[in-house]
């Protein structure tokens, strides 16, 4: 491996001069600079970044904990993270945690052990809980956010968004509205449920909890939950799904029962993934700026890392938009 000493020898200068030529060319005399650059070229020298990182105690890597990369929405968020990280000179260490907290804590260790300078968590779990008394490593929590997050957060006003969807369904005349939720202990699910209830309450309706089915954000779980709802004696006339993946599973199940969307049952989703506008019928949903979530999370994280920041309590609320398409219509 050609190292800085070889180059120095080749150019007839000291290692310091080589280092300076590459990092601060302006303080090296033009003649020397040319000689060094020629030697660099000739030797095909590339600085060993492990050494640079080690010396500077900065890896310029960020750990990203993602529950499932297979989820289209997260894929977009990661795209945004990667884009902004690259722009700021950072790399992304991707960790598909599948929601396993042991794995998340293990991955979080990559920051403690200096494999990365900071961490972005896309789930409501603090992987540094067990850090006993130590200073918290730089972290940002995005998408599904802890209630009392010990770090900056980036999230949607899920309550308001869910309320908007529900009001849309109410305006179409629906009164019995089913809900296909996410996992029980998720703050995201809880907030969307609250927004749902807000809208019902404002309309003077009492929610029927028997119409709330849990899912896990995958199409099969939406399919299953819709099956549950349809088998009721008095099935709902509309179903609000907490994400588009489950909505697509639900629509499938509805059609399998010989019913039509939206003529017999309306379906609304959440996220506005790419397929939402291409499936049949196209899906009424909440559009989120997924890539922007990622970019913003990186921005906040680098603020902490670069110490351009004193407050760990910056909280960004991202905008949403109700996108009405074909899957919702007037109650039959």
Partner DNA sequence: TGCATGAATGTAACCGGTTACATTTTGCTG
Partner DNA sequence: CAGCAAAATGTAACCGGTTACATTCATGCA
For binding to DNA (CB under 7 A), which residues are involved?
A: 1, 3-5, 12-17, 19-20, 22-23, 27-29, 31-33, 45, 47-48, 51-52, 54-57
Minimum distance, C-beta of residue 45 to a copy of itself, in the bound complex (Å): 10
Q: Which does 129 bind (CB under 5 to 8 A by kind): a copy of itself, DNA, none?
A: none
As a whole number of angstroms, the distance between CA 226 and CA 252 comes to: 9
As a whole number of angstroms, the distance between CA 198 and CA 214 comes to: 19
Whole-number Cα distances in Å, 3 to 8, 19, 45, 51: 9, 11, 7, 11
Q: For residues 8 and 78, which CB has a smaller minimum distance to a copy of itself in the complex?
A: 78
Alpha helices (runs of H) in 57-157, residue ranges in sequence order:
72-87, 101-112
Minimum distance, C-beta of residue 150 to a copy of itself, in the bound complex (Å): 18
| Residue 83 makes contact with a copy of itself by CB under 8 A | yes
Q: For residues 202 and 274, which CB has a smaller minimum distance to a copy of itself in the complex?
A: 274
Using CB atoms within 10 Å of the CB of residue 5, give its burial: 0 to 12 exposed, 13 to 18 middle, 19+ buried: exposed
| Residue 123 makes contact with a copy of itself by CB under 8 A | no
Q: Quick one: which H or E segment has residue 100? A: none
Q: For residues 45 and 196, which CB has a smaller minimum distance to DNA in the complex?
A: 45
Please identify which residue in 19, 32, 68, 257 interacts with a copy of itself, judged by CB under 8 A: 68
Count the Cβ atoms, other than its own, within 10 Å of residue 294.
28
User: Cβ(79)–Cβ(38) under 8 Å?
Assistant: no
| Residue 151 makes contact with a copy of itself by CB under 8 A | no
Per-residue b/e over 23-50, b at no fewer than 16 CB within 10 Å? eeeeebeeebbebbbebbeebebeeeee
Judged by the rule CB under 8 A, the positions of this chain that interact with a copy of itself are 44, 46-51, 53-54, 57, 59, 61, 68-70, 72, 75-76, 78-79, 82-83, 86, 91-96, 103, 109-110, 112-115, 132, 134, 218-219, 223, 245, 248-249, 251-252, 255, 274-275, 277-280, 282
């Amino acid at each position: 491996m050609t190292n800085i000493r070889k180059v120095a020898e080749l150019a007839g200068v000291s290692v310091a001069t080589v280092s300076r030529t590459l990092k601060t060319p302006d303080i090296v005399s033009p003649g020397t600079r040319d000689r060094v650059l020629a030697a660099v070229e000739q030797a095909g020298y590339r600085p060993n970044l492990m050494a640079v990182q080690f010396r500077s105690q900065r890896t310029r890597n960020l750990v990203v904990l993602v529950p499932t990369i297979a989820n289209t929405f997260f894929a977009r968020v990661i795209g945004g993270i990667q884009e902004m990280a690259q722009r700021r000179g950072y790399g992304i260490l991707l960790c598909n945690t599948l929601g396993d907290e042991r794995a998340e804590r293990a991955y979080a260790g990559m920051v403690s052990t200096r494999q990365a300078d900071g961490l972005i968590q896309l789930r409501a779990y603090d992987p540094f809980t067990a850090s006993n008394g130590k200073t918290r490593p730089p972290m940002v929590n995005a998408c599904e956010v802890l209630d009392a997050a010990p770090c900056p957060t980036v999230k949607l006003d899920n309550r308001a968004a869910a309320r908007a969807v529900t009001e849309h369904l109410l305006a179409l005349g629906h009164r019995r509205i089913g809900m296909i939720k996410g996992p029980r202990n998720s703050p995201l699910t809880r907030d969307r449920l609250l927004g749902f209830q807000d809208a019902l309450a404002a309309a003077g309706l009492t929610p029927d909890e028997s119409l709330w089915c849990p899912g896990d954000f995958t199409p099969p779980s939406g399919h299953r939950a819709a099956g549950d709802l349809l088998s009721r004696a008095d099935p709902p006339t509309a179903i609000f799904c907490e994400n588009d993946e489950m909505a697509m599973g639900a629509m499938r199940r509805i059609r399998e029962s010989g019913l039509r969307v939206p003529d017999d049952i309306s379906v609304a989703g959440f996220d506005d993934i790419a397929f939402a506008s291409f499936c049949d019928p196209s899906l009424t949903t909440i559009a989120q700026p997924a890539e922007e979530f990622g970019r913003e999370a990186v921005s906040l994280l680098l603020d902490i890392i670069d110490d351009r920041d004193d407050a760990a309590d910056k909280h960004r609320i991202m905008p949403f938009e109700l996108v009405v398409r074909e899957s919702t219509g007037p109650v039959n």
